[in-house]
Amino acid sequence: MARADATRVGRLLATSLVARLPQAMLGIALLVHGEAVGGSLAAGGLAAGGFALGVGLGGPWWGRRADRLGAARTLLASASLQATALLLTALLPVGSPVWILVACGVAAGLATPPLGPCLRAVLPRLLRDPRVLQRAYGAEASALELTFIAGPAIALGLAAATSTAVVLVMCALVLASATAAYVAQSVVRPGDLPVLRQQPAPSGWAALRSGLRNRRLLAMTSVMGLVGVSFGATEVGVIAASADGSGSHGAAGLLLALWGGGSLVAGAVFTWRSPRASLRLLSGLLCTFALGHLALAPAAADVRLLAVGLVLAGAAIAPTFATVHALAGRAVREARATEAFSWVATATSIGSAVGAALGGVLSQAHATLALTLAGAAGLGTIAVLRLGRDRDELDVVVRVHEGDTVPLPSAVPA
């Protein structure tokens, strides 16, 4: 990779991660703000749930807009709308009806900018070597873990020092400024997708049918939906399992940070090793993911064992994300890559919301049942991948040897 391309990729990755930091903060920020404004944790939970639902529903739509109109206009429009929604939410007075809180959460979620899908869609245009591209996906997945480790802690610390409204205002300002900085990179300006002006991507139900007919993309989306269920159930299960006699969840933050830390370290090693993306690799990673999360429920009786289990369970997360993104990018034409990555992100978001909801219900009966659900969802990913497996179409493996001609990711037909 040329030094100029490396510098450009580094700038894109850095600005994208800063712009996505508010997304890692907003779930907990809306939860505590909803509690402060609505007067109950239930109100905050509904606001945070509405946000997650909005993210899931809006993702593919914004992805199609980016493919059709260009990333720059799409990102600036969505970031402006989300920043406005967050500022309006911050201005809500104490005692506001719960439905207004939920509506604001849904609005903020629907307007979430497709920063991750846009970055992943543009990387193949800069990195033509598949091994280098795989390494970039791994680096992005690992770096993203930092935002999910730091985001909730920043949100809670800032809320304690100031107010929950200040957290939302800060999220809006960081989102708007960092998204503008990302768009300023020349590689994402409008006009970089001339194919779409000749062959417009389908919209509405036609786009949904098109996505469902693509077996390769459907397999990756289904897998990540179940991974999301495991995420949501694990978060709830750890909170429930770490409660002390007074009902405090003081250890939950540290335990979840260890979970993310395991993913961060494994992602760094995965990026360094840079194995070729294939279904065989993904199957192995999903088996590791499932076994690691299945072990959490038996380990929940001892917080030290749970801590070790979370580090090991987290080790499969970033490598799984990197491999899924590489395979999903091969599943469609380059002109529809942003939408494809948006479907994967949407499935993860909706799955996480479902896992958190089911985990909350199960944890009322027993603290470890949510963790059992997390492991079961992990097993489900293996079953879904085997059912949707089509080696002739999906398992496109590019072997790079000295002197080989390397086909471009966009060469794989949709």
Task: Kindly tell me if the per-residue pLDDT of 32 is higher than 60.
Answer: yes
Mean pLDDT to the nearest integer, 219-243: 84
Lowest-confidence segment of 15-19, 342-346, 355-359, 410-414 by average pLDDT? 410-414
Express each pLDDT in 179-214 by its tens digit: 999 988 755 444 444 333 344 444 444 454 555 556
According to the model, what pLDDT value does residue 235 have?
79
Least confident range of 22-31, 112-121, 208-217: 208-217
Of 53, 28, 60, 65, whose CA–CA distance to 150 is shortest? 28
Per-residue pLDDT, 87: 96
- CB of 216 within 8 A of CB of 327? yes
pLDDT average, residue stretch 94-112: 91
pTM for the predicted model, two decimal places: 0.69
pLDDT at 171: 95
Tokens at 273, concatenated: 């090793």
Q: How is residue 144 written in tokens?
A: 């993203």
Place of tokens 């900018």: 113
DSSP labels, 191-229: TS-THHHHSPPP-HHHHHHHHHH-HHHHHHHHHHHHHHH
Q: Is the pLDDT of residue 161 over 60?
A: yes
Taken in order of first residue, the domains within the chain and their CATH numbers are: 1-182 (1.20.1250.20), 210-398 (1.20.1250.20)
Give the DSSP per-residue string, 320-365. Answer: HHHHHHHHHHHSS-GGGHHHHHHHHHHHHHHHHHHHHHHHHHHHHH
Query: How would you label 101-128 residue by residue, b for 16+ Cβ within 10 Å and e otherwise?
Result: bbbbbbbbbbbbbbbbbbbbbbbbbbbe
Answer whether residue 163 shows pLDDT above 50. yes
Residue with tokens 């790079």: 400
pLDDT at 256: 80
Backbone CA torsion sign across 215, 221, 227, 233: negative
Predicted pLDDT of residue 201:
47
pLDDT of residue 318: 85
Of the pLDDT bands very low, low, confident and very high (cuts 50, 70, 90), residue 177 is very high
220 pLDDT higher than 80: yes
| pLDDT > 90 in the chain, percent | 22
Task: Supply the pLDDT for residue 47.
Answer: 83
Q: How confident is the model at residue 344 (pLDDT cuts 50, 70, 90)?
A: confident
Band the pLDDT of 112: cuts 50, 70, 90.
very high
pLDDT at res. 172:
95
Residue 402 has pLDDT above 80, yes or no: no
Query: What pLDDT score was predicted for residue 337?
Result: 61
The tokens describing 153, both together, are 């802690």
Q: Write out pLDDT tens, residues 355-401.
A: 877 887 787 778 788 899 999 999 999 888 887 664 444 444 433 33
Q: Which residue has the higher pLDDT, 20 or 408?
A: 20
Helix (H, G, I), strand (E, B) or coil at 60: helix
Q: Region 68-74: what's the mean pLDDT? A: 84
Residue 102 has pLDDT above 70, yes or no: yes
Q: What is the average pLDDT score of the chain?
A: 77
Question: For 103-112, 206-215, 277-286, which range has the lowest pLDDT when averaged over its residues?
Answer: 206-215
Q: How far is CA 296 from CA 300, 368, 389, in A?
A: 6, 8, 28
Residue 328 has pLDDT above 80, yes or no: no
Angle between helices 130-161 and 252-273 (to 10 degrees): 160
Q: Torsions phi, psi of 102, nearest 5?
A: -65, -45
Helix, strand, coil share (%) of the chain residues, nearest 5: 80, 0, 20
pLDDT band at 80 (very low <50, low <70, confident <90, very high): very high
With a cut of 70, say whether residue 405 has pLDDT above it.
no
pLDDT value of position 260: 82
Lowest mean pLDDT among 162-166, 235-239, 284-288: 235-239
- Residue 402, exposed/middle/buried by CB under 10 A (0-12, 13-18, 19+)? exposed
**Distance in angstroms (rounded) separating the CA atoms of residues 99 and 89:** 12
Burial 152-163 (b: 16+ CB within 10 A, else e): bbbbbebbeeee
For residue 381, which of 220, 190, 265 has the smallest C-alpha distance? 220
pLDDT in tens, 138-149: 778 777 777 877
Q: Among 119-128, 179-188, 193-202, 270-279, where is mean pLDDT lowest?
A: 193-202
Give the integer Cα–Cα distance in Å for 414 and 408.
Answer: 14
174 close to 82: Cβ distance less than 8 angstroms: no
Q: What is the dihedral of CA 231, 234, 236, 239, to 10 degrees?
A: -130
